[in-house]
Chain A
Amino acid sequence: MNGNKTYYVCKYTPVELLAAFGAECANLNSMPEGFDLADQIAHPNLCGFGKALLEAVMQGQVKELILVNCCDTIRSVYDVLEDSGKLDFLYMIDALHCDSVCSRERMAAQLKGLARAYGEFSGREFDETLFRKAFAPPVRVKGPHLSVMGARMGTQLFQMVQEAMPLPVENDSCVHNRSVGEVPPPEKLRMLPENGAGWADSPAFGRLMEWYAGEILGQIPCMRMTDNTGRKRLYNDPQLKGIIYHTVKFCDFYSFEYAELKDHANLPLLKIESDYTVQSSGQLLTRLEAFAESIAPEQNTEKEKRMGKGYFAGIDSGSTSTDVVILDKDRQMVTGIILPTGAGAAIGAERALEEALREAGLQREDIDAMVTTGYGRGAIQAGDKSITEITCHARGAHFLDPEVRTVVDIGGQDSKVIRLDENGAVVNFVMNDKCAAGTGRFLEMLARTMEMSLDEMSAAGLTYDEDITISSMCTVFAESEVVSLIAQNKATDDIVHGLNKAVASKTASLAKRVGGEDKYMMTGGVSKNQGLVKTLEEKLETKLVISDKAQLCGALGAALFAADMVM
């Protein structure tokens, strides 16, 4: 960021008008490392972008800022920033929520107000030549492409998306689909010779601003506008091959569009959520890569290796366990190993591979191809290729039971639901957010609170007398709720059933979101928890297929992809 620039955040900002006063405008879009300063002056549960704005200003990176009353967050941010006194120029445009004639008149009045204020601040007059020069048609991606839509996506995350995707990506989120500039100001509205002093009150300037207000309000509407039917233009492009739908935590406008889009868009669709920090973006990489794999599956089946002894290995490096599967040339399982991951993914993988080779009576060189998957896949150097656990789980589940169409995987760190087609390819998937709620870790922590082993917990939830509801899904709050239930002498079986219900509801919610359908298979370590499986079956109103190789599903899928690599 550059303290000499005039920053804006919304596409309804009149950047061409500011340019007419010599301002160099830039979209404030960088994602910070954290929100230390913002949390001190606002609240942690504010939308991440609002906090990013506060952070940038409080760090002294921004001196001029133009806001639009986009939402409640920005309205509050304006007041907090005004009170901070950290900016040389701060202005908020009161943009109405519709594109009527009346709204255009009021927008024109807002533009004149800003022109006056910025003119006074900068000590410069309105320069019509600069104004007209600032109109430049936006450059868009041509040909087949993907599009990021929804809430604004920060620069770093968008770069990550571009790198992960097999096609060019257009950023159509929030401020990024600004289209003012497609049409230059009409010649008939030229102000000369009134340009210069006296411009502010001249009728010619008024007419120019009225035209300009129409251009600003006539863009593809954002979700804050009353009539947003024009947004359909964003996804009706025949060259569009898939959508990455982005939401920002605590910005709720766009979840409504996603709710509609997921049922009506006839395109591959990935939903991701970030909190606008660089860290949160890193956690989204698995989802992005899995989506890229589902768009271009041929990349996973390229023949790259020659057949040797005809053995293929898959390593699934999870947060809790590392699993290894070795297949022979007939794609029969020679061995399957599950070991705790321990402190490092690479060491854990090496150890598990050694153990699998020993059990199979093979040497490292007997393995023709090896694919790594799982949370630690990037850390393992040994593999020939790395594929996300989402694609691998789908492949493994299809291998174990070709009738399976939905895979529910509850692992130690995350839970996911994957929908697949009749060939085992991923059609859609959804993962829980970075919170531990609804994962194996949630049950593990609460088993510890209740001084039970996971095996005891698995059996305890099968029968119950009282139907207890654990209302908190936050692990920390749920723990305190369990402690108070224990203090009330509630039966252990009843409490465990309550916990199972909480996890099952969360999982069933993911399944519904992804359009889950029969048959369902459950994989991952939590599939061993009988009480949870029973409760989840009740919630989903179906039986779950649980293979005796359920825990090895990801490694099995990886081994199958390894076999595909060999000619």
Chain B
Amino acid sequence: MQAAELLGNYVERFGEDNPQRARWFLKTGWEIQDVRYRIFPEKQLMPADRYLARLMMDSMLKPLQKPDSSVIVSVFTPCELMQEVGLNPYNVECFSSYISASYAERGCLQQAENNGISETLCSYHKTFIGAAEKGLLPRPKCVVYTNLTCDANLVTFRHLAQLYDVPSFAIDVPMQQNRENVEYVAGQLRELAAFLEKCTGRSIDEERLKERLRRSRRTLENFEKFQQLRADRYVPSDLVTPMFAGLANNVLLGTREQESYTEKLLRDVRNTGPARGTRIYWMHTIPFWSAAVKEALSLKESAQIVGCEMSEFCRPDFDPEKPYEAMAQMMVYNSINGGASRRIQRGIENAKRVHADGAVWFCHWGCKHTLGGAQLAKKKFEEQGIPLLVLDGDGCDRSHGGEGQTSTRLGAFLEMLQAQ
């Protein structure tokens, strides 16, 4: 049995009666993993990506180590404001992925379902809800969320705020892209700043916030440049690195560490060899746990993921000198805000930038926006000369696997691309 499976067994065993102990196992297991990343990093990855793995592990540990300095956030909630008041983002998608990587997701999912939560709810949300209900995850200072990108946010985070009995703040993002909507969201972000100041007793200095937004912009520019440069290079990638990059470009955006990561990317990409193998652009999350996907795409010269939609939702085209409008712009103009067509169009542009040979549209169980747009995406990508595989699965819950089917579909798609 792998160490991670053993950890999951302990967490599940104690999760029923002794949540404090289960939480201790989880935290200690992740601390050990953190040390492992430092001493035995994945050598095939670029140094920048090894640094990213440690960065993400650190940011996962902080809420467990200092829950009172943490804020539960939904993905694409701007985290610059949280950083300014010293709160560590406690991101639902990140935590559920790490719980799943620790083989502890089953009991959490079951807990949520036992309580009546729908079996078809996104498993990232359900795992987190179950873990919170079991007492595995500690109580945060507050909850901040937005309807952006996922309508499950509206119910999941309201439920979490009630469960933990902490103050919450919801950012309402309209789906149309225009100046009025940016103003509307910016107004709410100003209210959010006041909310965070009240929760923490700390104040937000607008000059410092501007500096943070300048850093956010530089980080996104660096990342975009890296994606351009990697178009002709072979950058080794496993299944978690593109996800880490996506999550870090949200929860850590605005930090020195995340900017430093993108600087390292620009340095490392110059030391890589010429492009080889089949290049896949990945839409939506990646089922990092799937042996079938690993076998096809993880650290393989023959085929690799060259970009993931998750890390390219926002463009660095905002004005940091107006920090609230800048954050609002990132939300309103997020490529997944609104209908599926904008998202598909942005995906096509991103895939072309990295010279992808094909794309995978991953239909994560329960993600209605992705499921609904699947066939439209196939049509639009292929009209632009990018073959697209609609792949069903689950980014977090192993029970929605069907590994045999995944292996056949993905294998056949890669063979088809290679034959072209």
Contact = CB atoms under 8 A, between A and B. Distances in A.
A183 to B, nearest CB: 26
A39 to B, nearest CB: 9
Contact of A256 (B117, B147, B170, B367): B117
Interface string A483-496: 00000000000000
A73 B373 CA distance: 9
B151 A80 contact: no
A47 interface: yes
Nearest to A470: B399
Contacts of B296: none
A252 B121 contact: yes
Interface stretch (B48-56, B233-241, B307-315, B338-346): B338-346
- Scoring B174, B372, B379 by chain A CB atoms within 10 A of each residue's CB, the highest score goes to B372
Contacts of B57: none
Given A79-B340, A252-B155, A469-B106, A94 B176 contact: yes
A446 to B, nearest CB: 15
B152 interface: yes
A109 B376 CA distance: 30
A513 B113 CA distance: 8
A553 B176 CA distance: 59
A40 interface: yes
Nearest to B176: A94
A467 B8 CA distance: 13
B268 interface: no
Nearest to B150: A72
Contact of B114 (A47, A96, A512): A512
B340 A252 contact: no
Given A76-B369, A255-B121, A471-B401, A509 B116 contact: no
Contacts of B122: 252
B181 to A, nearest CB: 8
Interface in A42-60: 42-43, 45-47, 50
B152 A252 contact: yes
A247 interface: yes
A513 B184 contact: no
A550 B203 CA distance: 67
B277 to A, nearest CB: 28
Contact of B155 (A80, A102, A253): A253
Nearest to A225: B154
B372 A224 contact: no
B398 interface: yes
A529 to B, nearest CB: 21
Contacts of B224: none
A253 B114 CA distance: 16
Contact of A96 (B156, B172, B373, B379): B172
A477 B402 contact: yes
B306 interface: no
A321 to B, nearest CB: 29
A80 B121 contact: no
A262 B113 CA distance: 13
A355 B115 CA distance: 45
B118 A97 contact: no
B75 interface: no
Interface residues of B, number: 56
Interface string A32-46: 000000001111011
Contact of A75 (B110, B115, B369, B401): B369
Contacts of A320: none
Interface in B317-362: 338-341
B184 A42 contact: no
Interface in A218-272: 223-224, 226, 228, 247, 249-253, 255-256, 258-259, 262, 271
Nearest to B337: A75
A45 B375 contact: no
B134 to A, nearest CB: 13
Contacts of B273: none
Contacts of B369: 72-73, 75-76
A56 to B, nearest CB: 16
A477 B372 contact: no
A253 B122 CA distance: 11
A258 B371 contact: no
B2 interface: no
B128 interface: no
A419 B373 CA distance: 42
B175 A83 contact: no
A50 B113 contact: no
Interface in B119-133: 119-122
Nearest to A250: B120
Contacts of A79: 339-341, 372-373, 376
Query: Chain A interface residue count: which class?
Result: 35 or more
A98 to B, nearest CB: 6
Contact of A252 (B184, B366, B392, B402): B366
A252 to B, nearest CB: 4
Interface string A424-453: 000000000100000000000000000000
A43 B338 CA distance: 19
Contacts of B174: 94, 96, 106
A228 B159 CA distance: 12
A97 B145 CA distance: 13
A228 B403 CA distance: 40
B187 interface: yes
A473 interface: yes
Nearest to A41: B375
B404 interface: yes
A387 B143 CA distance: 49
Given A45-B392, A255-B116, A83 B376 contact: yes
A472 interface: yes
Contacts of B117: 252, 255-256, 259
B375 A80 contact: yes
A103 interface: yes
Interface in A149-165: none
Nearest to A75: B339
Contact of B368 (A50, A102, A106): A50
B30 interface: no
A150 B341 CA distance: 30
A480 interface: yes
Contacts of A262: 116
A71 interface: yes
B375 A43 contact: yes
A78 interface: yes
B251 interface: no
B372 A77 contact: yes
21 contacts: A41-B376, A47-B368, A72-B369, A75-B372, A79-B372, A80-B375, A82-B339, A83-B376, A97-B147, A97-B170, A106-B174, A228-B158, A250-B368, A252-B152, A252-B366, A253-B151, A256-B159, A259-B117, A259-B159, A480-B402, A513-B116
Given A92-B339, A472-B399, 11 more contacts: A40-B375, A43-B374, A45-B366, A46-B372, A76-B376, A102-B187, A103-B172, A109-B180, A250-B120, A262-B116, A508-B114
By Cβ-Cβ distance, the 5 closest A-B pairs, closest first, are A76-B372, A255-B118, A259-B116, A72-B368, A72-B369
